[in-house]
Structure 1
Amino acid sequence: NNIISVLVLMGFVGLYASTGGLRSVVSTDVVQFAIMMLAMAVYAGILLKQTGGPDGMVAGLIEQYGRERTGQMLSLRPHDGVLAFWMIIGMQWLFQVNSDGTGYLAQRTMACAGDRDARRAAEIFTILQILLRSLMWIPIALGLLLLHPPDSSMTSGTPSAAWIAERETLFAVGMNLYLPVGVRGLMVAAMLAALASTVDTHLNWGAGYITNDLYKPLRRFRQPGLSSDSADVWVARLSGLGILSIALALVTIVPSIQTAWTLTLLFGAGMGAVLLLRWLWERINVYSEFAAILISIIAAPVLLWYVDLEWQRMFYMAALSTGAVILSVLIPVGGSSHEALLSFYHRVRPAGFWQKSARQLRMDPEEPWRLFKSGLLRIVLVATALFSVLYAILTLLFPVPD
């Protein structure tokens, strides 16, 4: 029973996440990630063997889909996917809830001993997450496309919900068909580990927000000078339990992975701009974030009901939320206190548009802009290097003959 399985797993994860805190979450995540990577490597190796190795896989794809289509599958710039590529780079990356790198990654890096350790941790995570994991996913995806090609009658037009559900389960179907018993168990454990890692991360992260950003300010307002670490711990534990209960309720409502992905993208499209700009522009304040959240809550149901195309929904949501953020900046409704803003700049020295704060602190007003340009250049160089290495290895493993 799926519901019972999810209840048991989430209950167990909630138990160690609430009792052990961030240390237990990070420690278990390392083990869970190692299990997942090992299982993915075995799965990819078995599918490669099943399809005759890299050369046999490419030959099979050419026979199944044709040389031109196979070339587009393995190309860095597929001819019919240029618009989609730029949509992902220009909109789906920027106008989504993870646009600033996510709060849970910030939480992990800020828990490091110092800046140097945090930078090393981020570098290792990026290589493992983007490069190594993708190298395992690619042969799995190609192998399943070869062994289980989509029905040609369903590839044109709007696919049905049943067809989408069938393709969504193909990864699990391949596990059942091609993995031997022991490896199949390892793969199931890896899937559970991936789910557990996601759940415990969000429980700990969400509980931290509720405790530090809601409960503590309210307590200081009502009872100034009162501090209780034990009360903070219990609030965090109860917050995690509340988040877990909401998640379990949503599991029974959301019909498919694609539906959940669509809802997440749509709500995130309204939050992405402000989440990124708050680090780069001193005029962004809490009212800007509230405006983006309010617009997302109001506009999402309307867009889901009246707009059919997903990219149009995201575009309208991004436009509405960006407009709300701009209005919150232009209209004098309050914001961060002057002292808090200067203290933040002095401690953090953020990049971007912080010239006014720098001048008031009698610091170099051009430093934030220089940091922004150098940081942006490093991002472009690292991203280009990572994807170039990934594509180079992909080309060596799966060359399409001329």
Structure 2
Amino acid sequence: MLAYRPFFVTCGPARGSLRMDGTVLAPLDWLIIVALLGFSLLVGFLVKDQASEGGVEGFFTAGRKMKWWLLGTSIVATTFASDTPLAITGWIAQYGIAGNWFWWGGVLGSVAMTVFFARKWRTSGVVTDVELTELRYGGPAAALLRSVKAFINATLVNCIILGWVFAGMSKISESFMDWRWLLGSELYTALAAVYPDALLFGSFDNTLTIAVLLAVTLGYSALGGMRAVLITDLVQFTLAMAMSITLTVIAVSQLGGLASMWDTLATLYPSDGSATDMAGNPYLTHDRVAAFAPDFGEGVVGSLGIPFSAFVLTLGVMWWSNGIIDGSGYISQRLYTAENGGEAEKGALWYSVANFMLRSWPWAIAGVAALVIFPRADVDLAARQFTECLNDEQVCTAEMRQCLDNRYTCDIPEYALLYRDQGTLEQDGLAAMSVVAGAPAYQQVPVFREDRERGYPAMIRELLPAGLMGLMLASLMAAFMSTVSTHTNWGASYLANDFYARFVNRRASAKQLTRVSRVATVAIAVLAVVVASTIDNIGAMWELYGGMMAGLGLPHLMRWLWWRANAWTEIAGMVSGFSLALINYIAGQLDLLPAGQISLFPPFMASHAIHVICWISLIAAVASMLATMLTAPVDDSLLREFVRKTRPMGIWGKYAQGDFRPERNFVESLLYFVLAGTSIYAGMFGVGYALRLETATGLGLIALSLLGLVIVVRGMGRIDRVL
């Protein structure tokens, strides 16, 4: 049995001075958090009259008067969820900086959406992306397609995403929000006793935090609609970005600067792999942590966990075969709000630049710093000692008991990176304890395990003084609210515009539609809470969603690029993708698949979820093409009207002549796509090289990036100068 070792972190202020009667947060921290929540509600009240003008048009498109910097920042704010820095912190420990390739591949799809489709969404004049189906196709099939897609997006898609976001917020609030202290033990106990366990997000404290944030978010988004969402997104993103940079700067400064951080990382995780956990498994080496290129070696520590073929498919297929390739969803919802097509296009480009070149690097460096501030060997030792303490009271120290009794007053920093689970003493390398604990080595017992995602909130707790801690928590709450407000507003737009206004009451007044929109916003949030709290495996749900969306990638491209596409093109793709994804999901959940298979496809076809999604997209693409050729084309008058409004690129023949030709031809747009994508990747890696202290390479790439982006902006803006 290991002797107890005192735990400490050598950097950061003493937290004891920050506590107030046993809570982590100081009065100033609470004041800052309350101020943020109050500001958000105030915005909703200030713009509620404007949101009430124009029915669903005014409520969900903010009057279509927004500038590029506001709508683009709002898109970035939505993707800046509170769970994102936690996920990246976990990836850094498991895969190194190269783990960001899980989303870096999205550059291509984001740029394609910007160059080919952003302008078209604004000029289409629709309120939701599913409304476009009737504008493009017309007829009963299009009406059916519109209603089904609206239902899926408003319910399933929202619940998957919000479930992930709720889980991330739970990990953040866990170490800070002591509701028993805030409410008093009597009231806290009474509320906990009546709250249904089925709707808990980890713990009752976490659930109360999410409930308060959700109530505030619903308040301003239901009152002020999209206008309130855009304004609060701007403030929330500015605060969140500023504080993520602040935390990273403080963490690196406490380690003596970037050079010292990289040197210490090399000492803790040497290249020879000699640093191992208690079971002898090697940690990720420092050179793999710092690498930008992924490792695909089988069994190599730090490999992305996917075959090389799956990685190639991610960059070569998945970015365009996904249903959001044209901006469908909450991104297009922002593009509708633009003052004109040019503002929509510039806003989409700003989103691509900010999302990939700027946003992720503070988190990546913070993730590296967390590996130094909380060395993995120390956290593993803490997990072992706390597991021993749980199973044998005699080995517990007073400090360990304090942590187990009240995590808010725990003085062992590594405890913040642990979570309770069930395991066996033998499985967790504690077989010798069975003699002491009086239990067989194979018996299920409570154990502690490391969760590197918790390293991010742990650094907040350890490094930030009063005031800054409150600002940091407020920024993460702001990130949470910006994501939730978008998805509740987006989901409500389907219920109000694509169900009520389309099928229930086509003569509804603007006042009635605004009221329905507000009720729908609340209804979507309640549904999300109920469904999200029942999701056990987020990864499996994302694979389900990915498979469903894989059936819509090609149809969504075809509707903009080829006159022959019709409603059955999308219906065939949607039904194929949905059916295959659902069958795979159910078979996996019920353990109906043969040994060695992860899907209906045999192992030689699909050894990873990315393979499965790509096969679904291929099958759905074939189904879409067959449906297109076997059914009648869209009526000429509808096609002419669609081309008149959107002036799409691609193959439109007689429909795109004279004044109806696209503002920019396909070849020119393709050149801007290549240049913009290359520029963003150059800038993204340029920032990374600079932070890795390879200054010359970094600055050179950044300079090339800026030059390329200037050319793209000036070239794409030529349309507006001519018009």
TM-score by length of 2: 0.48
**Counterpart-to-counterpart distance in 2, 1:338 and 1:115:** 25
Structure 1 contact 286–335 (Cα < 8 Å) conserved: no
Taking the aligned partners of 1:321 and 1:368, their CA distance within structure 2 comes to 29
Q: Does 1:310 align with 2:609?
A: yes
The answer for the alignment partner of 1:101 in structure 2 is: 327
Q: Would you say 1:319 and 2:618 are equivalent positions?
A: yes
Q: Does 1:386 align with 2:667?
A: no
Deviates more, 1:210-219 or 1:39-48: 210-219
Aligned to 1:33: 237
Q: Residues of 2 paired with 1:297 and 1:345: CA distance? A: 30
Alpha carbons 1:292, 1:325 under 8 Å: kept: yes
Alignment-derived partner of residue 468 in structure 2: 183
Verify the 8 A CA contact 2:320 2:554 in the aligned structure 1.
yes
2:550 is the counterpart of 1:269: yes
Mean Cα deviation higher: 386-395 or 173-182 = 173-182
The aligned counterpart of 1:255 is 536
Asked if 1:294 corresponds to 2:520, the answer is no
SS in 1 for 2:673: helix
Letter in structure 2 aligned against 1:77: A
Instruction: Give per-residue Cα distances to partners, 1:307-335, cap 9 Å, x unaligned.
Output: 52322332232223323322321221x56
What residue identity is the alignment partner of 1:16? Y
Larger radius of gyration: 2
Q: Which residue identity is paired with 2:245? A: A
Distance 2:681 2:535 in 1: 33
Distance 1:6 1:44, change over 3 A: same
User: Is the aligned partner of 1:218 residue 2:422?
Assistant: no
Alignment partners' CA distance in 2, 1:194 and 1:124: 18
Match of 2:650 among 352, 377, 387: 352
Residue 51 of structure 2 is matched in structure 1 by none
- Pairing 1:77–2:299 present: no
**Larger helix fraction of residues:** 1
C-alpha change, 1:191 and 1:276, in structure 2 (3 Å) is farther
Partner in structure 2 of residue 195 of structure 1 = 480
Query: Is the CA contact (8 Å cut-off) linking 1:109 and 1:118 kept in structure 2?
Result: yes
Please say which of residues 244-253 and 118-127 is displaced more in the overlay: 118-127
Indicate the SS of the match to 2:355: helix
Distance 1:6 1:102 in 2: 28
SS across alignment from 2:665: helix
Q: Distance in 1 between matches of 2:261 and 2:309?
A: 28
Aligned equivalent of 2:63: none
Aligned ranges 1:84-123 → 2 under 5 Å:
85-123=311-349
Deviations 1:227-250 (A, max 9, x none): 521222223223222321221112
Q: How many residues are treated as equivalent by the alignment?
A: 386
Q: Which runs of 5+ in 1 are unaligned?
A: 154-160
Distance 2:682 2:449 in 1: 32
Change (3 A) 1:129 1:299: same
More deviation in 274-283 or 5-14?
274-283
C-alpha distance after superposition, 1:281-316 (max 9, x if no partner): 333333333333333432223223135232233223
Q: Aligned ranges for residues 107-256 of structure 1 at < 5 Å? A: 107-148=333-374, 166-219=451-504, 226-255=507-536
Counterpart Cα distance in 2 of 1:105 and 1:17? 17
Paired with 1:66 and 1:94, the residues of 2 have a C-alpha distance of 40
* 1:207-255 superposed Cα distances (whole Å, 9 cap, x missing partner): 22333333333257xx6xx352122222322322232122111221123
* Residue of structure 2 in register with 1:156 after alignment: none
* Offset at residue 14 of structure 1 (A): 1.7
For residues 120 and 312 of structure 1, do their structure 2 counterparts lie closer, same or farther at Cα, with a shift above 3 Å needed? closer
Query: Scaled by the length of structure 1, what TM-score is found?
Result: 0.83
Deviation of the 1:184 alpha carbon: 2.4
Contact 1:96 1:272 (C-alpha < 8 Å) held by counterparts: yes
- Give yes or no for the alignment of 1:278 onto 2:494: no
- Deviation at residue 395 of structure 1 after TM alignment: 1.1
Query: Secondary structure at the residue paired with 2:326?
Result: coil
Change (3 A) 1:289 1:206: farther
Whether the aligned pair in 1 keeps the contact of 2:547 and 2:580 (CA below 8 Å) is no
Change (3 A) 1:59 1:192: same
Partner of residue 717, structure 2: none
8 Å CA contact 1:295–1:321 kept in 2: the answer is: yes
Alpha-carbon distance change, 195 to 116 in structure 1, aligned in 2, over 3 angstroms = same
Give the Cα–Cα distance (whole angstroms) in 2 for the partners of residues 291 and 7 of structure 1.
40
Shift of 1:28: 0.8
- Identity score, percent: 27
Distance of 1:165 and 1:321 partners within structure 2: 41
CA contact (8 A) 2:245 2:362 kept: yes
Q: 1:86 to 1:54 in 2, by over 3 A?
A: farther
Counterpart code for 2:548: F
Give 1:371's aligned residue.
665
- Give how far 1:20 is off: 0.9
2:357–2:687 CA contact under 8 A, matched in 1: no
Report if the CA contact (8 A) 2:313-2:614 is conserved: no
Task: Give the drift of 1:30.
Answer: 0.6
Take 1:79 and 1:336, find their aligned partners in 2: how far apart are those partners?
Answer: 48
The AA in structure 1 aligned to 2:550 is A
Gapped runs of 5+ residues in structure 2? 1-204, 273-284, 297-303, 381-419, 422-447, 599-607, 696-723
1:4 to 204, 208, 215: 208
AA partner of residue 328 (structure 1): A
Counterparts in 2 of 1:303 and 1:49: CA distance versus 1, 3 Å: same
Once the two structures are TM-superposed, the CA of residue 386 in structure 1 deviates from its matched residue by 1.6
Q: 1:380 to 1:127 in 2, by over 3 A?
A: same
Q: Is the 8 A contact 2:544 2:582 kept in 1?
A: no
Q: Distance in 2 between matches of 1:167 and 1:314?
A: 28
The aligned residue for residue 227 of structure 2 is: 23
Contact 1:300–1:317 (CA under 8 A) maintained in structure 2: yes
